[in-house]
């Protein structure tokens, strides 16, 4: 039986997070954005509610929620300010979920538990100046020393919350000659010798969020801080990204919803040529597309949440959800701006400009739109097998 209704617990969670966003996030979103201010009070509020450990089991200090609940949280938080959904993506989606899956007992106690409570923030350092979509071309290295520890050198760039994170999950080549099979993952601490971080200035959007760089110079990392086996880094990164993409797709729903609500309000208020602009079919066309894209994005997110809840591989489905939802969010923000006319072009009169700026990054990070298109086409063509399965066949779609 297909039942898409929320449970009582999920509805209550939605109400709680919605209230938090309406009372704590939205009233200061404009001011925080203008001041390029990362509002630690809001992050503390999210931590107090357990949101930073939403899907981590209670034995490690999390709430132990399912993925529909995580989707609800990400949507509501991004409806308020994408800066904090970005934190949810890097801290919980990309970092903590990977520690839960691949971490040793020690790593879960020492690193995952404080992350789940939100007492320490965590980031995910994969991208480098010369390695974005092409992860295997990374240049960071991890050389094993005679005492078993690793010496890390390299530069990670465009890393969400790099300067604020106490724990950094970074990837480096333990075998520089072997492409993706030579990558390993390491848990670093911000105050380890040889690590420096800095924020990237003058970003196009996400002004109230932190995005930075990590410089590693002869950072000595104990062997016990390697996540997974040597050479397993690429596999771990791909798992992390399947988790991160889910939060990005879910968050995009919040942008579409906010843009739809703002557009409806404006279209009923603004009058031209003797009637409200909502009466014009060309304006209705933009609003109708937001409605359709919200619903289709939500269905893709829920389909993926179901797969994740079942513990099944979802690389194909999460890629579809992320691609469609983030493109839909950017289109919704663009159309919302159009419906607002000049009132949308300044933050003084409407927040649609902020949604527009913030909706641009998600179609670059966690797989650009082109990478998702390539994945889907190559799977359909049989050139690659996502989820370890053959391309979608009639049988697979029906079963
Ligand atoms: C705001 C922000 C936050 C980020 N946060 C993080 C983070 O927390 N951690 C992290 O590790 N990274 C992060 N990133 C980095 C992000 O993941 C990369 O920017 C992304 O993977 C793309 O890499 P690139 O920018 O180097 O583009 P490139 O890989 O250089 O691509 C450039 C262009 O070429 C296209 N292209 C590349 N290869 C192909 C191909 N095979 N076929 C077709 N087209 C192709 C791309 O689609 C794109 O249009 C963040 C980026 C941004 C903007």
- In-domain check, residue 21: yes
pLDDT of residue 112: 98
Strand partners, 131: 128
Of 198, 231, 264, at which residue does a domain stop? 231
User: Could you report the per-residue pLDDT of 246-297, keeping only the tens digit for each?
Assistant: 999 999 999 999 999 999 999 999 999 999 999 999 999 999 999 999 999 9
Q: Are residues 240 and 150 in the same domain?
A: no
Q: Is residue 278 part of a domain?
A: yes
Q: Is residue 81 a part of any domain in this protein?
A: yes
Residue closest by Cα to atom 11 of ligand 1: 126
Indicate whether 290 and 202 sit together in one domain. Answer: no
Q: 373 and 241: one domain?
A: yes
Q: Is residue 387 part of a domain?
A: no
**Ligand 1 atom with the shortest distance to the CA of 368:** 47
Q: Both 100 and 142 in a single domain?
A: no
Residue 188, domain CATH: 2.40.110.10
Same domain membership, residue 215 and residue 193: yes
State the distance from the centre of ligand 1 to the C-alpha of 365, rounded, in angstroms: 5
Residue 397 has what pLDDT?
46
Give domain status of residue 269, yes or no.
yes
Residues in the chain with pLDDT < 70? 392-399
Which of these is catalytic: 48, 75, 366, 378? 366
Range of the domain at 145: 123-231
User: 47 with 132, same domain?
Assistant: no
For a substitution probing ligand 1, which of 158, 244, 378 has the most ligand atoms within 8 Å of its CB?
158
How far is the centre of ligand 1, averaged over its atoms, from the C-alpha of 72 (Å)? 26
Q: Are 296 and 356 members of one domain?
A: yes
Q: Which of 46, 39, 41, 40 is nearest to 17 (CA)?
A: 46
**220 in a domain, yes or no?**
yes
Domain with residue 59: its CATH number is: 1.10.540.10
Residues 202 and 325 in one domain: no
Residue 390 counted as domain residue = no
Return the pLDDT at 307: 97
Quick one: pLDDT at residue 399? 37
CA of 368 to the centre of ligand 1 (A): 6
Nearest C-alpha to atom 39 of ligand 1 is from which residue? 371
**Where does ligand 1 bind, in terms of residues with CB under 6 Å?**
90, 124-127, 132-134, 158-160, 206, 211, 361, 364-365, 368, 370-371, 374
- Same-domain pairing of 210 and 297: no
Q: Which one, of 178, 191, 177, 164, lies nearest residue 83 by Cα?
A: 164
* Residues 105, 136 within the same domain: no
Which atom of ligand 1 is found nearest the CA of 135? 21
Question: Do both 160 and 200 map to the same domain?
Answer: yes
Task: Give the pLDDT score at 389.
Answer: 75
* Domain C-terminal end among 78, 99, 120: 120
The last residue of a domain, from among 231, 253, 270: 231
**Ligand 1 atom closest to 205 (CA):** 1
- Is residue 267 assigned to a domain? yes
If we measure between CA atoms, which residue out of 223, 143, 233, 131 comes closest to residue 182?
233
Q: How far is CA 238 from the centre of its chain?
A: 14
Q: What residue's CA is closest to ligand 1, atom 6?
A: 159
Residue 392 confidence (pLDDT): 54
Overall domain count for the chain: 3
- Residue 245 sits in a domain whose CATH number is 1.20.140.10
Reply yes or no on whether 366 is catalytic.
yes
- What is the CA(131)–ligand 1 centre distance, in A? 8
Asked whether residue 258 falls in the same domain as residue 271, the answer is yes
The pick from 364, 366, 383 for probing ligand 1's pocket by mutation, whose C-beta has the most ligand atoms within 8 angstroms, reads 364
């Amino acid at each position: 039986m297909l039942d898409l209704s929320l449970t009582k617990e999920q509805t209550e969670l939605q109400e709680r997070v919605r209230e938090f966003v309406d009372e704590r996030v939205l009233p200061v979103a404009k001011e925080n954005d203008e001041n390029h201010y990362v509002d630690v009070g809001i992050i503390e509020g999210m931590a107090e509610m357990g949101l930073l450990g939403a899907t981590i089991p209670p034995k490690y200090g999390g709430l132990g929620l399912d993925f529909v609940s995580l989707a609800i949280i990400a949507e509501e938080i991004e409806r308020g300010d994408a800066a904090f959904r970005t934190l949810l993506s890097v801290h919980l989606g990309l970092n903590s979920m990977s520690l839960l899956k691949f971490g040793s007992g020690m790593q879960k106690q020492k690193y995952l538990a404080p992350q789940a409570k939100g007492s320490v923030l965590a980031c995910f350092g994969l991208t480098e100046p010369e390695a974005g979509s092409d992860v295997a071309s990374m240049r960071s290295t991890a050389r094993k020393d005679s005492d078993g520890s690793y010496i890390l050198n390299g530069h990670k760039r465009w890393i969400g919350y790099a300067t604020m994170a106490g724990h950094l999950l970074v990837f480096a080549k333990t075998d520089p000659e072997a492409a993706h099979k030579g990558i390993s993952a390491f848990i670093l601490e911000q105050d380890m010798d040889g690590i420096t971080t800095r924020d990237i200035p003058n970003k196009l959007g996400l002004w109230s969020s932190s995005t930075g760089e990590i410089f590693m110079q002869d950072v000595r990392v104990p062997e016990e801080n390697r996540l997974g086996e040597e050479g397993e880094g690429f596999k771990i990164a791909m798992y992390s990204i399947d988790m991160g993409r889910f939060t990005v797709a879910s968050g995009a729903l919040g942008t579409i919803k906010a843009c739809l609500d703002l557009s409806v309000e404006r279209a009923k208020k603004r009058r031209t040529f003797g009637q409200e602009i909502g009466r014009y079919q060309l304006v209705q066309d933009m609003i109708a597309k937001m409605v359709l894209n919200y619903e289709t994005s939500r269905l893709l997110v829920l389909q993926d949440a179901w797969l994740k809840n079942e513990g099944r591989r979802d690389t194909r489905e999460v890629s579809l959800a992320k691609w469609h939802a983030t493109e839909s969010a950017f289109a919704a923000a663009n159309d919302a701006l159009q419906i607002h006319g000049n009132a949308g072009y300044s933050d003084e009169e409407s927040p649609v400009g902020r949604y527009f700026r913030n909706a641009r990054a998600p179609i670059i990070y966690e797989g650009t739109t082109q990478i998702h298109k390539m994945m889907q086409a190559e799977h359909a063509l049989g050139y690659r097998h996502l989820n370890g399965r053959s391309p979608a066949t009639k049988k697979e779609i029906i079963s």
